[in-house]
Amino acid sequence: DGGITQSPKYLFRKEGQNVTLSCEQNLNHDAMYWYRQDPGQGLRLIYYSQIVNDFQKGDIAEGYSVSREKKESFPLTVTSAQKNPTAFYLCASSEGTEKLFFGSGTQLSVL
């Protein structure tokens, strides 16, 4: 079945550490997105990519980095510069005017 796979489901970060969240899709979608979800704040866009080797900053890109070397993969790195990384992270993809397809999310917490 086609879909989006995020891993790991839970992730813990130590002070000063960079961590990478994985996102893989087999839907053959060009566009991929990363959202951060905090309680009471809805979904906020971190980065998005419309095509391989190209990506754009969203509303809250500071402290995050991404790459898009393959169409099916869009990993997100939470760097040590992100001082409040505890949140639920959602990866999504879309094609044309269709809906966003979401992964099952990664909960990141700070040790």
Smallest separation (angstroms) from other proteins to the CB of 80: 26
Residues 6+ apart with CB under 8 A from 21: 6, 7, 11, 34, 75, 76, 77, 78, 89, 91, 106, 108
Q: Is 60 in the site for other proteins (CB under 8 A)?
A: no
Smallest separation (angstroms) from other proteins to the CB of 44: 8
Q: Is 41 in the site for other proteins (CB under 8 A)?
A: yes
Q: Is 7 in the site for other proteins (CB under 8 A)?
A: no
Which residues are near other proteins by CB under 8 A? 31, 33, 35, 40-45, 48, 50, 56, 88, 90, 92, 94, 96-97, 99-100, 102, 104-105
